[in-house]
Structure 1
Amino acid sequence: MKSNPEPVFNLSGKKILLLPVILLISSLMFTSHAQSTKAAGKRTKAIRTLIVGGGSSHDFDKWYKQADAETLRKDGLASVRYTDNTDSIAYYLPDVDVLYLTNNQPIKDPLVRKAIMDFVGAGKGLVMGHAALWYNWRDWPEYNQQLVSGGSRGHDPYGSFHVNVTNTKHPVTKGVTPKFSLQDELYYYQQDNSGPGVEVLATASADGSDKVYPSVFVVNHGQSRVVGIALGHDEASHQLPAYQTLLRNAVKWAAKK
């Protein structure tokens, strides 16, 4: 008996050649895969972000290593690495798009300090959160002068205050509620006139006080996109949608995406 050259499937007594059907299905699957691959190729790559934490007076692991990292990873916006070993910063920087400094612990190694300055000078993004906007390092004045363009030496006791977005059209404040309140430390950020200067995007003020301080700002660095966010002491900030939007916007803008 002569064997069939192609596999067949019998349906109600009718023979159906399977090979053409298999080829058709394979063709459709390949086309679908190719289209998916092509679409995936158009997607923006995750922003490689290094978060640096560690120091005193804050739970860096809970609110930066965990909460902020989760906020940035959402929907594939960023791939995040966290370290509280400041000596390792220079090692990671070659593979980083945005450096997110949140620490108030010392950065002692001169080579690491230089690596940070070179990173920003080369046009890579820098975001500085809460504790990193303090005057932390007397032996590294260039940090506050050139990168923060100022800093804070004091703050109100932990409590409620208001944030007013003064520039709603900037990419960092896009989608952020124009006015909101929260429990946090109201930092007394002041500009350094010898620095590059800043553009204030949001201010903070407490009830019954006529003092208004920059709370979110961008530094006029020239080579790089640099953002400062003074909010961020604990859960009241990190779990707040306005804060999360600011952080995601800041990283995206600093990465020039």
Structure 2
Amino acid sequence: MKIRFYCILLACICCGYSYGKSIRVLIVGGGTSHNFDKWYRGADAATLSRDGLCTVTYTNNTDSIADYLVTMDVLYLATNQPIKTRGRQAIFNFAADGKGLILGHPALWYNWDDWPKYNQQLVSGGARSHDKYGSFEEEIVNTNHPVTKGVDVKFMVKDERYHYSADVFGPGIAVLANNQVAGSDIVFPSVFVVKNETSRIVCIALGHDEGSHDLVPYQTLLRNAVKWVAHQ
């Protein structure tokens, strides 16, 4: 009986099956300038669902954020749509309760002039401009963090290089990956942890289209980030 059990266990491990609890993730997309359904509802949801890592719920309806978050472990915010007061409060309550946040490419912009608290406290800054879409090299600068585990130290992407700037009044960030503008000393963070007091928050500035979403390093970073913010 014991031999049979261990054989089943070994087979499950070899097949990539995980006995860990599936992480409940809410992806909030929708808005302008991106194909949210293709890259967030489609590609990223598939990446996170692979091997049973996550149970993913996707919505373009920002009015539903508060209702969905009641049963979620992680919020993956990837929208530039308006978010009403109830949704805004739910996001901050979620973070205050120690739940994990992934803030994706569209959500790292200064989208909400009437909600400065979001960029200051949850993003610790943001972007107001970016380079023209094109190829550039990403470099992992902290290879010891769980989010960067198994990711090549350097890899090429095609994306919009976000000009992220830190807010001096924010909690601060710890940079995990960045990119340098060719021929200059200008470096922009692209994957970083926000030093929030209660929540684990990972920001990923990459993600305009297939130039990032279809890359194995991006997919690995995303899966690692969700596991880390969910404390798994």
TM interval, shorter chain, is over 0.9
Q: What is the CA–CA distance in structure 2 between the aligned matches of 1:127 and 1:103, rounded to whole Å?
A: 12
Selected match of 1:215 from 190, 196, 207: 190
Partner secondary structure for residue 70 of structure 2:
helix
Alignment map for 1:73-112 (pairs within 5 Å): 73-107=49-83, 109-112=84-87
Match of 1:8 in 2: none
Q: Normalising to structure 2: TM-score of the pair?
A: 0.92
Report SS of the residue matched to 1:48.
strand
- Residue in structure 1 matching 2:42, options 59, 62, 66: 66
* Residue 152 (structure 2) aligns with: 177
- The structural deviation recorded for 1:91 is 0.4
User: 1:177, 1:242 within 8 Å by CA — same for their partners in 2?
Assistant: yes
The alignment of Structure 1 onto Structure 2 pairs a total of residues equal to: 222
1:112-151 to 2 correspondences below 5 Å: 112-151=87-126
Q: CA deviation at 1:132?
A: 0.3
TM-score normalised over the length of structure 1: 0.83
Match of 1:153 among 117, 128, 144: 128
Secondary structure at the aligned position of 2:110 is classed as coil
What CA distance in whole angstroms lies between the structure 2 residues aligned with 1:96 and 1:204? 32
Q: Which runs of 5+ in 1 are unaligned?
A: 1-27
Deviations 1:21-56, CA, capped at 9 Å, x for gaps: xxxxxxx7xx96xx87xx99x911100000000011
Question: Percent identity of the aligned residues?
Answer: 61
Letter matched to residue 139 of structure 1: D
Report which of the two structures shows the higher radius of gyration computed on alpha carbons.
Answer: 1
Cα deviation code 1:137-195 (max 9, x no counterpart) = 00000000010000000000000111111000000001111011111000000110101
Q: Which SS does the other structure have where 1:75 is aligned?
A: helix
How far off is 1:208 after superposition?
2.5
2:180 matched residue in structure 1: 205
Question: Which runs of no fewer than 5 residues in structure 2 stay unpaired?
Answer: none
